[in-house]
């Protein structure tokens, strides 16, 4: 194998240069490079032809830190889901009862006894108190 095919003599692409540019800018934001050093290295960056040239721009910089792990996914809030389901059921039953009462009252041309309030108010009051107490809210 001849020295012409050494890995550090392979020509670089614009993508390789952009990766090195990002590393140089990170080194500047960390304080490893001054603004003058960054400007000088960025000017030389686009003149590089081989991987050896690119490595020369970053050889004295500390190795980049590995990326931090992603935050854990939030835990499902089963109490909030239960409260939403119960509220949706209560609201659906209340609307159906109200519509039935309204239809009966319109058909008879006389307002019927408001019986729809009995399945509407007591469970609604309980749900309202539970929501007010914070059942299902996320705790901080």
pLDDT of residue 103: 93
pLDDT of residue 139: 67
- CA distance linking residue 24 with residue 128, whole number of Å: 58
Show the tokens assigned to 130. Answer: 């539970």
Rg for the chain, CA atoms, rounded: 35
pLDDT of residue 112: 86
pLDDT of residue 105: 92
Domain ranges of the chain: 6-58, 78-133
- CA distance linking residue 122 with residue 99, whole number of Å: 19
Kindly list the distances between the CA atom of residue 1 and the CA atoms of 5, 8, 12, 65, 70, in Å, as whole numbers in the listed order: 7, 14, 21, 36, 44
C-beta of residue 105 within 8 angstroms of C-beta of residue 49: no
pLDDT of residue 76: 83
pLDDT of residue 25: 92
Mention every residue, 6+ apart, whose C-beta is less than 8 A from residue 130. Answer: 83, 136
Using 50 as the pLDDT threshold, list the residues of the chain that sit under it: 1
Element (H, E) at 111: none
pLDDT of residue 65: 75
The pLDDT tens digits of the residues spanning 44-82 come to 998 889 988 888 888 888 887 788 899 998 888 888 889
Angle, helix 14-30 to helix 51-58, in steps of 10 degrees: 10
């Amino acid at each position: 194998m001849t020295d012409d095919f050494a890995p550090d003599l392979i020509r670089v692409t614009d993508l390789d240069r952009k990766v090195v540019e990002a590393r140089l800018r990170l080194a500047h934001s960390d304080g490893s490079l001054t603004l003058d050093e960054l400007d000088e290295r960025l000017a030389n960056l686009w003149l590089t032809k081989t991987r050896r040239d690119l490595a020369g721009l970053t050889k004295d910089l500390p190795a980049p830190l590995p990326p931090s792990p992603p935050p854990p996914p939030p835990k499902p809030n089963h109490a909030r889901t239960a409260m939403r389901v119960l509220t949706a059921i209560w609201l659906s039953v209340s609307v159906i009862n109200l519509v039935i009462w309204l239809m009966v009252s319109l058909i008879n041309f006389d307002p019927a006894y408001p019986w729809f309030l009995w399945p509407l108010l007591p469970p609604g009051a309980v749900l309202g108190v539970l929501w007010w107490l914070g059942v299902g809210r996320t705790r901080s």
